[in-house]
């Protein structure tokens, strides 16, 4: 995996320089530089517009007591798009603009998830701890201990939460 990132950090700048030279030979230096600045401005504007839209959709989902999973995915890809669009270069701009296409973002996210799901253990709140251990591919990391936190700062006259018959209660 480290080799993969090293390869990206070496090959992407080389590709960007090569593309700059190719575009410069076709349209000249100043139009090339202007196109890089223009793509950054347009990409930032598009990212901002879509970001506000995704934020409103996430807020609507939260108001309905739903977890805004798709909106989080869109937000992550918008962040990636913003970073790529602000990086000077034609290749990074192309990938950044691709991240601004909503159906493509979801397809990429679900493709990445399908590759990672066998290597990630997701714990669902409210799920039976024994079932989580049974379903875990390595048999679980150990026992799950359920507990509660009692704030010692509570006044004595304030009713304490929890079971009144608990032996741990003072």
- Please report whether residue 87 resides in a domain: yes
Is 168 a member of any domain? no
In a domain, 103, yes or no: yes
Give the residue carrying structure tokens 């934020």: 55
Based on the structure, what is the number of domains in the chain?
Answer: 1
13-54 pLDDT tens trace: 999 999 999 999 999 999 999 998 998 899 889 888 998 999
146 within domain boundaries: no
Asked if the structure places residue 142 within a domain, the reply is no
The range of the structural domain enclosing residue 39 comes to 11-114
Provide the pLDDT confidence category of residue 2 given band limits of 50, 70 and 90: confident
Neighbour tally for 92: CB within 10 Å: 20
**What count of Cα atoms within 13 Å lies in the side-chain half-sphere of residue 22?**
9
Q: Per the domain annotation, does 33 fall within a domain?
A: yes
| 154 occurs within a structural domain | no
Predicted confidence at residue 119, as pLDDT, reads: 74
Average pLDDT of the chain is 81
96 occurs within a structural domain: yes
Query: Could you read off the pLDDT of 79-121 as tens digits, one per residue?
Result: 999 899 888 889 999 999 998 898 898 888 888 888 877 777 6
């Amino acid at each position: 995996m480290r080799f993969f990132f090293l390869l990206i950090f070496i090959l992407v700048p080389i590709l960007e320089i090569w593309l700059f030279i190719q575009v410069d030979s076709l349209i000249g230096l100043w139009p090339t530089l202007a196109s890089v600045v223009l793509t950054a401005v347009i990409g930032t504007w598009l990212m901002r517009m879509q970001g506000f839209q995704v934020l409103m959709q996430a807020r609507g989902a939260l108001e309905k007591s739903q977890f805004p999973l798709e909106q989080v995915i869109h937000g992550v890809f918008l962040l990636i798009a913003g970073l790529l669009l602000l990086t000077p270069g034609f290749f990074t701009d192309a990938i950044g603009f691709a991240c601004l296409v909503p159906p493509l973002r979801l397809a990429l996210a679900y493709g990445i998830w399908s590759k990672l799901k066998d290597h990630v253990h997701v714990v669902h709140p409210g799920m039976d701890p024994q079932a989580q251990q049974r379903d875990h591919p390595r048999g679980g990391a150990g026992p799950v201990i359920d507990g509660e936190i009692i704030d010692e700062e509570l006044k004595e006259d304030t009713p304490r939460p929890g079971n009144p018959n608990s032996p741990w209660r003072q």
